Chain A
Amino acid sequence: MASSASIGDGTVIRRILIAITVLFLSVFLVLPILVVIVSAFQQGMHTYWAAISEPEALDALRLTLIAAGVAVVSNTLFGLSAAWMITNYSFRGKNLLITLIDLPFTVSPVISGLIFVLLFGGRSVVGRWLIDHGIHIIFATPGIILATCFVTFPFVARELIPLMQSQGNQEEEAAYMLGANGWQIFWRVTVPKIKWGILYGVVLAAGRAVGEFGAVSVVSGHIRGMTNTLPLHIEILYNEYQFSAAFAVATLLLVFALVTLVLKRYLEYRIDRKSEAL
């Protein structure tokens, strides 16, 4: 305690640091949020309501929720199995696998989208065959789901792998010795240990999935009422000079971001308590 007291001793330095932090937060966080809210309500409650209740906005909201929902569920399953495999077994190429999981974080979202266009587009063999058989991947809902899955896919795994590695597998081994089968070990021993970690990963993945723009923009085809997600719909409104409407729809994303933030905070608190208890 004594050493930290001496670091923050100079009141001048302390005040400067606080001032910098407050200034930074207001310029980069508070002001933009205020601009969004003020612009959204600039033309009154009526315009606001019209913008978020028009069919195209609702279609965009629905598509966004579908894509985010599928992405979160499939990535949770993937993250769990990957983390389980990595912590409980040792095999060749394990480190390579861990590195590969991070790939979507390092690849630019535009490239992520283009990968699917090249793979399932009309000019690839696979894409041609699928289109000829009436199966539409890109410029349709499946493409948007795929792109969303791709960009969010490291979140749960990334959260779980270090958590499970640090916790070790003694408990699982003990359960095994006591005669539990794999299923029982998983549900009764592993899941209770990592559930907050899973939820934390889910919240992060959902936040990213809802807000994703780049990758989805490439595979969308921008068909109104069909393949526009909320962020794409906002861009369209903005380009049509409907600034108030664009910001009104943006408040939906803002609400979602705030909910994500609160949940994230709560989960961090639960995880901290959990590790203190251990």
Chain B
Amino acid sequence: MKRIIKSSLLLAVSTVVLTTAIHAKSVELLNVSYDPTREFYQEYNKQFAAYWKQKTGDDVTVKQSHGGSGKQARAVIDGLEADVVTLALAYDVDAIREHAKLLPANWEKQLPQNSAPYTSTIVFLVRKGNPKHIKDWDDLVKPGVSVITPNPKTSGGARWNYLAAWAYANQKYGSKEKSKTFIKALFQNVPVLDSGARGSTTTFVSRGLGDVLIAWENEALLVSRKEAPDQFEVVYPSLSILAEPSVAVVKVTADKHKTTAVADAYLKYLYSEPAQDLIARSYFRPRSASALKSYARLYPNLKLVTITSLHKNWADAQKVHFSDGGIFDQVFENKAK
């Protein structure tokens, strides 16, 4: 009798355990992102999984895919089934909306601050001791200075780099023609154009090419503080650009996967204090004032212009500078001659 009671108790307990196990759903998300966010999302995915588990009891695993921002947008257009995209610039998310109709037209308004939960800017990374005395954009066009930057045709980061230089030239020289000459002189000093930001960093850091790398601030901090401490220095120019990497739920795909709720929460949680703190620790500029305050020494104040002060919108900037026959093509073709 005792044994029967014991075993039926065991049965009851195991049934309860089993059914709760069944009730805890396990969800999978695919986050298609750009190059320099690898380290950040690796950590954030753990943070969000813990938060989601505590809130709903469900397990969520986030798969990551990284590459040049433009290339990643292409892959999503071609059928890579991302639930969320976290790309380098709004233009690439917009390309997905335009060519594949996977997002609503107002995707940028779905989340606070233009759907950009973190920002960054463009800075210079130079070798220890700054042997070529690089202080500002003007130093990059001097003869004998070798500049590393990726290809603006394929890399989102490279477009920010280019536009930061453009903004500086515009402010200093005023006229479009003179800015063009400046950009031309700058690209004359570029020996190699990699296809993505990470590729350029590797060219500069591991292959030892170039005197200065124009880079994302987050990439420059990552290298100079974590990956190769004491070998490089970050130089802040007098003026740079406010880069707002965009995040968005790929609505159509998420609806199909029935992951819209998790995907929404995944992006919203980026704005929470713990996530903002992680963002600041991962060398991105946080939106939250308190996180920014705690890490103020990492992120010096700097004159930052926005893309909208230079152009009507990204599509316009893209057309003027980077489309076939645009200013970049003009100055780069001339380089060969």
Q: Is B99 an interface residue (CB 8 A)?
A: yes
Q: Is the CB of A222 within 8 A of B67?
A: yes
Q: Is the CB of A120 within 8 A of B79?
A: yes
Q: Is the CB of A123 within 8 A of B65?
A: no
Q: Is A153 an interface residue (CB 8 A)?
A: no
Interface membership of chain A positions 219-248, coded 1 if the CB is closer than 8 angstroms to chain B and 0 otherwise: 001111110000000001011110100000
Q: How far is the CB of B28 from chain A (nearest CB, A)?
A: 10
Q: Is A121 an interface residue (CB 8 A)?
A: yes
Complex interface residues of chain B between 166 and 207 (CB less than 8 A to chain A): 198-199, 202, 206
Q: Is the CB of B77 within 8 A of A122?
A: yes
Q: Is the CB of B79 within 8 A of A138?
A: yes
Q: Is the CB of B79 within 8 A of A224?
A: no
Q: How far is the CB of A183 from chain B (nearest CB, A)?
A: 43
Chain A contacts for B136, CB-based, 8 A: none
What is the chain A residue whose CB lies nearest that of B196? A239
Q: How far is the CB of A57 from chain B (nearest CB, A)?
A: 15
CA distance A239 to B64 in the complex (A): 15
Instruction: Tally B residues with Cβ within 8 Å of A.
Output: 22
Q: Is A193 an interface residue (CB 8 A)?
A: no
Chain B contacts for A221, CB-based, 8 A: 65, 75, 80
Q: Is B324 an interface residue (CB 8 A)?
A: no
What is the chain B residue whose CB lies nearest that of A143? B79
Chain B contacts for A136, CB-based, 8 A: 79, 81
Q: Is the CB of A240 within 8 A of B39?
A: yes
Q: Is B100 an interface residue (CB 8 A)?
A: yes
CA distance A239 to B37 in the complex (A): 12
Q: Is the CB of B66 within 8 A of A222?
A: yes
Would A123 and B99 be within 8 Å (CB), given that A221-B75, A238-B202 are in contact? yes
Chain B contacts for A139, CB-based, 8 A: 75, 78-81
Chain B contacts for A224, CB-based, 8 A: 63-65
Q: How far is the CB of B142 from chain A (nearest CB, A)?
A: 30
Instruction: Tally A residues with Cβ within 8 Å of B.
Output: 22
Q: Is the CB of B78 within 8 A of A223?
A: no
Q: Is the CB of B63 within 8 A of A226?
A: yes
Complex interface residues of chain A between 117 and 131 (CB less than 8 A to chain B): 117, 120-123, 127, 131
B30, B80, B81, B227: residue with the most chain A Cβ atoms closer than 10 Å:
B80
Q: Is B217 an interface residue (CB 8 A)?
A: no
Chain A contacts for B277, CB-based, 8 A: none
What is the chain A residue whose CB lies nearest that of B64? A224
CA distance A241 to B63 in the complex (A): 20
What is the chain B residue whose CB lies nearest that of A218? B75
CA distance A127 to B63 in the complex (A): 23
Q: Is B35 an interface residue (CB 8 A)?
A: yes
What is the chain B residue whose CB lies nearest that of A138? B79
What is the chain B residue whose CB lies nearest that of A241? B227
Chain A contacts for B66, CB-based, 8 A: 222, 236
Chain B contacts for A222, CB-based, 8 A: 65-67
Chain B contacts for A226, CB-based, 8 A: 63
Chain A contacts for B39, CB-based, 8 A: 240
Q: How far is the CB of A257 from chain B (nearest CB, A)?
A: 24
Interface membership of chain B positions 9-46, coded 1 if the CB is closer than 8 angstroms to chain A and 0 otherwise: 00000000000000000000010000100110000000
Complex interface residues of chain A between 50 and 64 (CB less than 8 A to chain B): none
Show 5 residue pairs from A and B whose CB-CB distance is below 8 angstroms, ordered by the A residue: A117-B78, A123-B77, A139-B78, A221-B80, A240-B39
5 nearest A-B residue pairs (beta carbon): A122-B79, A121-B78, A139-B80, A221-B80, A241-B227
Given A221-B80, A239-B199, list of 4 further CB < 8 A pairs? A122-B77, A222-B65, A224-B63, A240-B39
